[in-house]
Structure 1
């Protein structure tokens, strides 16, 4: 059985054209996907964001404004309405004020990297519409920790600015390059299947069946190590 903290955390990176992309993303997301979403955007320091109200129109999940030391809960969306930097530690969101003279230009990379360090293979990174390459280094950090990565390709919800997702895709580290509206289903399956094999092992009726599962799993690890050069046994 999994504990209450064993759900994936999804970082959503968006910039220019991000509202349409977020609409597509949440329209394709189940009502209770078994994960949490944290939205990181490039905000103007001189404008108040209306994103909390806007995103609430697209999803039945609760939409919470991030404050310092916010505990991340499952089936909840988090976003920051002010010009600040967000990191994560022990499944808590931490807000760092921007220096007006030295503003962080890659808040998505920063959050994705912190997320990968904090929850490892339970991390997922989504790169949506945007006009630069922010998110690409963060995608690399998530893949190094065994997480899931997605980037937006064109459909009716954009991307209106494709530089950000195209940069992530060109890295070769994106698991799914798909339209935003298809991402929710992929992530919900990721959340549902995360511990499926462990549950099957726990449900085995005999010691022989359990040993057979372990043998099959080790065989899969060996194939993956030989084919892609990465050891998934941890």
Structure 2
């Protein structure tokens, strides 16, 4: 429970360029990702699947684990921030499944996501910087952006492994679709290969 001193400090808060109402609006919007399911898993017939927010946390955790092993100099704080905001557009657009993209013009999804991202962060201090960093993730144009791309995919693979492990299922077509695709960084590639080996060993034991 809050104390009288904390209530007093909140009352005396003086905005440093952004109002508490603006911060609240951003947080309310962003935390809505907790209610948005990852539709790719639903399309595979799974129920009670992870939310976009859960995936986002996983991506940030993968970035935290991999960053010290990356062979390029990078800003770890920047990479973590990109990881935390990379799926913000899905708060407005939901998680558009890959099969739906064949019915959209090539740039439609990217343009819609960029517009949605801008709407969400436009009132924040540093909103312009966040937009630039989000584009770096989309384009893979910086080490931080590429690391988050690797983490985004690796977290998805880890989640598939966890679903197989906890639900006694096999997602063979999912894994087959991932085969032959490489990662930007050798540490991500190595973790992926270790994961594939662990999956194969587990299935041999059954």
Q: Does the pair score TM above 0.5? A: no
Name the larger-Rg structure: 2
Instruction: State TM-score, norm by structure 2.
Output: 0.28
More strand per residue: 1
Instruction: State TM-score, norm by structure 1.
Output: 0.26
More helix per residue: 2
